[in-house]
């Protein structure tokens, strides 16, 4: 893949991440479901991580693969702090819980914290990508 194509893909994924963050903020401000907030916040992180994967030319097909590669390629190598990994894992687990497990209620506070963590995640990775 050509450098400019990769750059366009990275930009596209970061735009998706920003849209997901904006959606999560809109849901929070509108008093909507914590489940929806967590979903959009997680996807903001996921799309941002996919942008990173584009940069290194490795894009796993599964969410767990993206998270694992983020850890091995960026956290274990000291590029990003462990807190970003922890936040990413927590958001993934909450999204799994809220999207697929019945009778598990997520608090508004937990959803808001997930959104704040996602916003921080996106900001740090954007700085790294210098976009």
Rounded mean pLDDT, 37-60: 95
Within 8 A by CB and 6+ apart from 51, the residues are 9, 10, 13, 14, 17, 125, 129
Average pLDDT over the chain, rounded to whole? 94
pLDDT at 102: 65
pTM of the model as a whole: 0.94
pLDDT category at 101 given cuts 50, 70, 90 is: confident
Any idea what DSSP says for residue 72? I
- Predicted pLDDT of residue 131: 58
Q: In the predicted model, what is the mean pLDDT of residues 21-44?
A: 97
- For the cut 90, the answer to whether the pLDDT of residue 105 exceeds it is no
pLDDT of residue 117: 98
Domains and CATH numbers, the chain: 3-129 (1.20.120.330)
**Backbone torsions φ then ψ of 31, nearest 5 degrees:** 70, 30
Q: At residue 52, does pLDDT exceed 70?
A: yes
What integer pLDDT is reported at residue 98 of this predicted model?
83
Angle (CA) 88 66 50, round 5°: 90
d(CA 22, CA 52): 20
In sequence order, which residues have a C-beta less than 8 Å from that of residue 78 and are 6 or more positions away?
Answer: none
């Amino acid at each position: 893949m050509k450098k400019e194509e990769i750059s366009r893909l990275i930009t596209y994924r970061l735009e998706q991440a920003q849209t997901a963050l904006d959606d999560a903020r809109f849901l929070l401000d509108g008093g909507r479901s914590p489940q929806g907030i967590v979903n959009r916040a997680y996807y903001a992180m996921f799309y941002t991580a996919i942008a990173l994967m584009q940069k290194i030319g490795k894009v796993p097909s599964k969410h767990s693969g993206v998270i694992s590669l983020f850890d091995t390629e960026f956290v274990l190598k000291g590029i990003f702090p462990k807190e970003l990994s922890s936040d990413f894992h927590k958001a993934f687990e909450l999204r799994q819980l809220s999207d697929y497990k019945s009778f598990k209620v997520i608090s508004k506070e937990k959803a808001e914290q997930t959104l704040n963590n996602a916003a921080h995640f996106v900001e740090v990775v954007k700085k790294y990508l210098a976009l």
